[in-house]
Amino acid sequence: MAGAAVDCRNVTVRFVTDRRTVTALHDVSFDVEAGGFLTLLGPSGCGKSTLLRVVADLVAPSSGTAAVFGTSPAEARAARALGFVFQDAALLPWRTAIQNVELPLEVGGRRSLPAGAPTPRELMKLVGLEGWENSYPHELSGGMRQRVSIARALLGGPRLLLMDEPFGALDEITRDRLNEELRRIWQETGTTILFVTHSVYEAVYLGEQVLVLAANPGRVAARVNVDLPRDRELIIRETPAFTSIVAGLRDVMGRAGPRAAQGHRAA
């Protein structure tokens, strides 16, 4: 499709080890429109993190192609079109919060900020950490560390933000608050977001669309539109519209195999 932020066609990823060959992804095709918010939902082992890494040029597909804004993932990475938020915040413990946010300016050719892009300080404010700039990671809570890592990923105004279960290790209350703020950040920055999760509620609350993956081998089980208003408060999760989308997704996952059902219960 024209104007696609991400376009994956027939992506297959195999990992060969001494004992066996694992097909992490089998013939996966999907796209995300520019400015969209797609959540990748599936049980552990369905290859959703691998898929994200194919888009980020961290894993090369065994066959098939991936394109980011019409270019290869490697070109998109070199052009700093991508921001990546990891499962653990992956902050450098010897750097203060603001120094961690500034890291992208110091490596990979020491770029200066594009004109009009928010400064590290402005990004700290955007993620609600004004006043914590000079704290070290060990002085911050898990939720705050993940906020810093989101600010770091947003530095330079990437057009695509890839998020790999960023809130998976946080308590439910912190997670809810960060979900709400991520929706706000998405609307404020206009960045395309591809978000991996194994929580059905998170997938539906955050996404404009949900791509459901099934395991063994990792493949697309369904793609569901989330027909909810753009401005969402957490309370929307109690509405019948929300509940029926969740029920529909659970049904898809249940039919995709018993392993899938187990996986989402564990979430």
Partner 1 sequence: MSTTTLEAPLDPGQQAAEAAHHRRMRRLAWRRRLLPVAGIATFLGLWAFIVWFFEVPRFVAPSPQLVAATLVEKHETLLRNLVPTATQAIAGFILGNLAAIIIATVFVHRKTAEEAFFPVVVLINTIPVVAKAPILVLLMGNGMEPKIAIAALICFFPTLVNMVRGLESVNPQAMELMRVLSASEREVFFKLRLRNSLPYLFSALKIAASTAVIGSIVGEWIGSTTGIGALIIQSMYNFDSPMLYATVIVGSAFSVAFFALIVAAERFFVRWQPANPV
| Footprint of partner 1 (CB under 8 A) | 53, 56-58, 77-78, 80, 82-84, 86-88, 90, 92-94, 103-104, 106-109, 136-138
What is d(CA 264, CA 260) in angstroms, rounded to the nearest whole number? Answer: 6
Q: Which CB sits closer to partner 1, 3 or 108?
A: 108
Identify whether the C-beta of residue 29 lies closer than 8 Å to the C-beta of residue 9. Answer: yes
Q: In whole angstroms, how close is the CB of 40 to partner 1 at the nearest point?
A: 17
Q: Which of 225, 227, 212 is nearest to 257 (CA)?
A: 212
Residue 66 region by backbone torsions, left for phi larger than 0, else alpha for psi between -120 and 50, else beta: beta
Q: In whole angstroms, how close is the CB of 256 to partner 1 at the nearest point?
A: 28
Please give the C-alpha separations between residue 93 and each of 37, 83, 98, 136, 145, in angstroms, as whole numbers: 31, 20, 12, 7, 10
Q: In whole angstroms, how close is the CB of 93 to partner 1 at the nearest point?
A: 4
Q: Which CB sits closer to partner 1, 107 or 115?
A: 107
The residue written with tokens 């009009």 in the block is: 116
Q: Which CB sits closer to partner 1, 73 or 207?
A: 73
Q: Which CB sits closer to partner 1, 28 or 82?
A: 82
Q: In whole angstroms, how close is the CB of 72 to partner 1 at the nearest point?
A: 14
Please give the C-alpha separations between residue 256 and each of 40, 51, 164, in angstroms, as whole numbers: 15, 18, 22
Q: Which CB sits closer to partner 1, 33 or 88?
A: 88
Q: In whole angstroms, how close is the CB of 164 to partner 1 at the nearest point?
A: 9
Residue 14, classed as helix, strand or coil, is: strand
Contacts of residue 111, Cβ cutoff 8 Å, sequence gap at least 6: 80, 104, 105, 156
For 38-68, the three-class secondary structure string (H helix, E strand, C coil) is: EEEECCCCCCHHHHHHHHCCCCCCCEEEEEE
Q: In whole angstroms, how close is the CB of 173 to partner 1 at the nearest point?
A: 16
Q: Which CB sits closer to partner 1, 152 or 183?
A: 152
